[in-house]
A and B are shown apart, each in its own frame.
Chain A
Amino acid sequence: MTTTDRGSANASFEFEGRTIPSAAGDTIASALFRAGVRTFSRSFKYHRRRGLYCLTGDCPNCLMTVDGEPAVRTCVTPAAGVRRVARGAGWPSADRDFLSILWRLRWLMPVGFYYKSMIRPRWVFPIAERVIRRIAGLGPVPREPSHATKERLNHHPDVVVIGGGIAGLSAALAAAEGGERVMLVDEGTISERNAPGALRDRITALRDALSRQASASILERATAVGIFEGPLVPVVDDDFLHLVHPARIVVATGAVERHAVFPGNDLPGVWLGRGAARLAGVHGLTPGKTIVVATNTPEGLLHLDVLHRNARREGGAAIVAAVVPAALASRVPAGIDVIADGTIVEASGSGALRSVVVEAAGRRRTVRCDTLVLSLGLEPRDGLLRQAELEPVVGAGDVVRPGCSADEAEESGRRTADVGAAPEAADDDVTAPRLGSREGFLCLCEDVAVKEFEHAWDEGYRSTELLKRYSTVTMGACQGALCHAHLKAFVGQRSPGSWTGKPTTARPPARTIRLEDLAAGARVPLEHHTSLHDRHVARGALMDWAGTWKRPSNYGDVEQEYWAVRRNVSVMDVSTLGKYRVAGPDATALLEHIYPCHVGDLKPWRSRYTLLLNEAGYLFDDGMVCRLGDGSYYVTFTSSGGDGAESWLREWTDERGLKVHIANVTASRGAINVAGPKARELLSRVSGDAVDARAIPYGGLREMVVDGVPCLVIRVGFVGELSYELHHPSRQSESLWDALLDAGRPLDIRPHGLDALKLLRLEKGHILVGQDTDFDTTPSKLGLDFAVKMDKPDFVGRTALQRIALLPRERSLLPMTFAGQRAPEEGAQLFVGGVHVGNITSSRFSPSLGCGVALGWVRHPVGAPPSRITARDTAGDSEGTVTKGPFYDPKGERLRA
């Protein structure tokens, strides 16, 4: 009873214009095979025909484009639900491929040829590149973004077992019985690989026992991507990118049958034993009519039995010869011709297998056949195991003891749950594969023959790592499953015992993976909103990123917003500012230490502009320090620096062992800036508290109730007009905002956004940290020496500033004006007398001054900045004048009103 007998065969899919029916339990490959398809792909480099080979998902031969996705392993992908399948390479088709002529031209393309050819003439390469992209590759990559948007799902089991065979299931069961939380993942469906029989029943029983364990979970059709430090095992299935964070890992990924190297070993019709047996045993299809089986293992004899029985049942097929060691000859079923102690030396045919040449007892014999089944040993599928050097990972089953029996595999799995037992060492005593002839493909994925290895060796690439990179062997879809052993054997034979023959470094991903799967759940960046966000959106603001915040750039008319600030009154949402309460016995000592200005002399209800310097003396943020009535402090930082400010405040608290309380109130306090010559008038309409210059002088602050909202009102000067920053509970931002706009209507109020702000502050020559400063900007380069008090005994960066003061200052941020209607672009390069001296950091046309105003870095002789300067941007050169001080209201009379 085969799986294909179950259920109806109503399903079908389209294959290059044909309709292919599929039965229940079919893979895409088995359905295609049943429909007569024998050429499953064209090889990567030479476009040779390739047929089914491994049927375990390890070789590249069955890769096709399925529903728009390239490089799908059709031999392990269920046909159910599939709509359209096509082969990737081949022009005009995989069946009739003109590019197969490349095989005849192989002498033009030896290993590494692309490093040496197409260098001269140089114009050849761009053309060749386009041609090569068409010819080579596994299929076109879809251009449209995928509709599926996977999320991540984190798991924290005690142990994750990768591989659901006997060893894996046993390891998981033993762990669950021991009280551990277990997760088992398998890239296919458990037991689907096995033909009905004792082995499959045993696996199914183990699986059922595991399912009954409450602390165990099983993920099928879930592919482990790799093993990362942590340990972390990402696993991809149809629903999620699972991130598994186990305490320990068991790798039970089994083994792959050994790939044999001889001329014609890649012809359609040559099979690995497990593949042929699976086709017959699970799908009920015979791989061919005349079959030669070559094996030297007991497992191979099992495959022989399966094929034999299938051939007899289906009829029309027969095993014509069995090439086995003499010792196993008696186990071959009667009626099959036995060639004892023989070796396959050649397979031949034109596009498909026709005959094989077997050498035995010094004689060569040709056997006509259309199918050759090879079961010549096992190589561990140990990529994942080798990835995890420092992590708590153990192997179990075939992956550490290839060829072990089912009982040995179960024992090996159960032992992994025993904390005391030493981990099972990988079986080093594996006979290296024989590398026979010079022809024959060593690497099916990249079309590399042994002869090419010899070329590379002659050229000096004499280690596994170098040969791998030069020939690209192990870099294809199989990731070394078929060829890694041969690579090691090749080097081992030429440099026996040398480190140059060591296994190559295994890296994730262990299987082909989609980039979009790795990006699952990571597409959405952190997005902060202020409490006024909905108000801005409702007003039609253009919202844009400002760091991790969304802020209004403008509300539709930047110039009007600008004039509202300069002539009337305007409001701006500045809730993004970093805000902290700093209190406690040592609060003053802390702030004295981190700020270069005086803090201790600040009287209650007074504020001061502050710089933040690091220990190298470099500016990394600015803000304000305010003294409250109870002696504690309210400090602010820029919107982008606010989050990190907490780490800075706490760093110095810890360093000096200070008793300070630091509360981050950035989110709980909103802030609205009321700016303009009529700001005082507006506030008096919404508050019963005094707002005259005596009540809140420049540099002062006070608590006020504004339209019923308790506010800390701080006078600020960033935009160069009379301004009040209203700090208030963020829950009341909207009502405060509405009240201000309402009361300001007769004053022609309108809100302003970041675009206007940047222009307003530039007219005052005020810097934006990060835009006008570099990582190594000191206060004196900015003309901000007034904010640094070197007479203080100590502050962070003081010694550095002393040291830097000994150096001549030959670079400064200078203000400059440009006549005309167009200001130079930000980033424009600056020249004095034809010599490049710097670049512009901020630049805008000033409506008030009627010219361009800018800040820029200029290299100049000490103490002698230039007076004339030229800016060069994409539109050409502009002549400018270097000035001093703020452009607008140089005496600062307006903001000190």
Chain B
Amino acid sequence: MTLKVTCPHCGPRYTTEFWFGGELIPHAASATPGADALRLDFDRVWLKTNVAGVQGERWFHHAGCRRWLVVDRDTRTNEFHDHD
């Protein structure tokens, strides 16, 4: 419960009010044929950076405004920052 996320619509709330959407992954490139595109898509979907440091990530505020928000969080200290 104890980690708090600051929702831009609702204010700081405990993570139990959110669903965690994972670290930000790049937008899918438009579908092009070819083995390279398949491998790139696999890497994009399955391989996470999992950084020990600041990562962009998404949270869905299901108990409140029911919107997605994007924040930066330092995975070592759980400090949150605005995502630029």
Contact (Cβ within 8 A) B41 A799:
yes
Q: Name the interface residues of B21-53: CB closer than 8 Å to any CB of A.
A: 21, 27-28, 30-31, 37-38, 41-42, 45-46
Give min CB distance, B56 to chain A, whole Å: 14
Inter-subunit contact A643/B41 (CB<8 Å): no
B60 touches A650 (CB 8 A): yes
Q: Does A664 contact B (CB under 8 A)?
A: yes
Proximity string of chain A (621-657) to chain B, C-beta cutoff 8 Å, 1 when within and 0 when not: 0000000000000000000000110110011001100
A794 contacts which chain B residues (CB < 8 A)? 30-31
A390–B77 CB distance below 8 A: yes
Q: Are A651 and B78 in contact (CB under 8 A)?
A: no
- A195-230 interface bits toward B, Cβ cutoff 8 Å, 1 = contact, 0 = none: 000000000000000000000000000000000111
Are A390 and B78 CB-contacts (below 8 A) given A230-B3, A644-B19, A799-B28? yes
Q: Which residue of A lies closest to B69 (CB)?
A: A654
How far is it, in angstroms, between the C-alpha of A836 and the C-alpha of B23 when the chains are bound? 39
A650-B67 contact in complex given A616-B45, A803-B41, C-beta closer than 8 Å? yes
**When the two chains form their complex, are residues A615 and B60 in contact, meaning their CB atoms are under 8 A apart?**
no
Closest to A654 in B: B68
- A665 on the B face (CB < 8 A): no
B1 shortest CB reach to chain A, Å: 7
State how many angstroms separate the Cβ of B81 from the closest Cβ of chain A. 15
Per a CB cutoff under 8 Å, which of A615, A647, A800, A806 touches B62? A647
Chain B proximity of A804: nearest CB distance (Å)? 10
Nearest Cβ distance between residue A802 and chain B, in whole angstroms?
A: 6
Evaluate contact between B77 and A232: CB separation under 8 angstroms.
no
The residue of chain A having its C-beta at the shortest distance from the C-beta of B40 within the complex is A799
Residue in contact with A800 in the complex, picked from B19, B41, B67, B78, CB distance below 8 Å: B41
CA separation between A806 and B3, bound complex, in Å?
A: 43
The size class of the interface chain A forms with chain B is: 20 to 34
Query: Pick the contact of A230 from B2, B27, B58 — CB < 8 Å?
Result: B2
Measured between beta carbons, the chain A residues less than 8 angstroms from B28 are 615, 799
Considering the complex, give the chain A residue whose CB is closest to the CB of B25: A615
How far is it, in angstroms, between the C-alpha of A231 and the C-alpha of B67 when the chains are bound? 25
Asked if A793 lies at the interface with its beta carbon under 8 angstroms from chain B, I say yes
Interface residue B9 (Cβ < 8 Å from any Cβ of A) = no
Which of A228, A647, A806 sits near B68, CB closer than 8 Å? A647
Task: Give per-residue flags for B1-18: 1 if the beta carbon is below 8 A from chain A beta carbons, else 0.
Answer: 111100000000010000
For residues 211 through 267 of chain A, which have their beta carbon under 8 Å from a beta carbon of chain B? 228-232
Min Cβ gap A624→B in Å is: 22
Specify the chain A residue showing the minimal Cβ separation from B78. Answer: A229
- Distance (whole angstroms) from the CB of B5 to the closest CB of chain A: 11
Given contacts A390-B78, A644-B19, A647-B60, contact A664 B66 (CB under 8 A): yes
Residues of A within 8 A of B66 (CB): 646-647, 650, 664
What is the CA–CA distance of A655 and B70 in the complex, to the nearest angstrom? 11
A-chain residues with CB within 8 Å of residue B2 when the two chains form the complex: 228-232
Give chain A nearest CB distance to B84 CB in angstroms. Answer: 17
In the complex, are the beta carbons of B1 and A803 less than 8 A apart? no
A375 to B12, CA, bound (A): 48
Please indicate the chain B residues that have their CB under 8 angstroms from the CB of A650 in the complex: 60, 66-68
**Which residues of A sit under 8 angstroms from B77, Cβ to Cβ?**
390
Whole-angstrom distance between the alpha carbons of A232 and B15 in the complex? 13
Q: How many whole Å from A510's CB to the nearest CB in chain B? A: 16
- With A650-B67, A800-B41 already in contact, the answer to whether A643 and B31 are too (CB < 8 A) is no
Min CB distance, A643 to chain B, in Å? 7
| A844 beta carbon closer than 8 Å to chain B | no
Residues of B within 8 A of A727 (CB): none
Partner of A802, one of B3, B4, B38, B60: B38
Residues of B within 8 A of A644 (CB): 19
| A651: B residues at CB distance < 8 A | 21, 58, 60, 68
Please report the C-alpha to C-alpha distance between residue A228 and residue B14 in the assembled complex, in whole angstroms.
Answer: 12
Q: Of residues 791 to 808 in A, which have CB atoms within 8 Å of B's CB atoms?
A: 793-794, 798-800, 802-803, 806
**Residue in B27, B37, B62 whose CB lies within 8 Å of A643:** B62
Q: How far is the CA of A655 from the CA of B58 in the complex (A)?
A: 11
Query: Would you call A232 and B62 a contact (CB within 8 A)?
Result: no
Q: Among A231, A616, A799, which residue has its beta carbon within 8 angstroms of that of B46? A: A616
Closest Cβ of chain A to B66, distance in Å, is 6
Across-interface contacts of A615 in B (CB, < 8 A): 28, 45
Q: Could you show 10 A-B contacts with beta carbons less than 8 Å apart?
A: A229-B78, A616-B45, A616-B46, A646-B62, A647-B62, A651-B68, A793-B31, A798-B31, A799-B28, A803-B42
Complex A-B, nearest 10 residue pairs according to Cβ-Cβ distance, in ascending order: A229-B2, A230-B2, A799-B41, A647-B60, A228-B2, A803-B38, A232-B2, A615-B45, A794-B31, A654-B68
- Given A650-B60, A650-B68, A798-B31: 20 more A-B contacts, CB < 8 Å: A230-B2, A230-B4, A232-B2, A615-B45, A646-B66, A647-B60, A647-B62, A650-B66, A651-B21, A651-B58, A651-B60, A654-B68, A664-B66, A793-B30, A793-B31, A794-B30, A799-B28, A799-B38, A800-B45, A802-B38
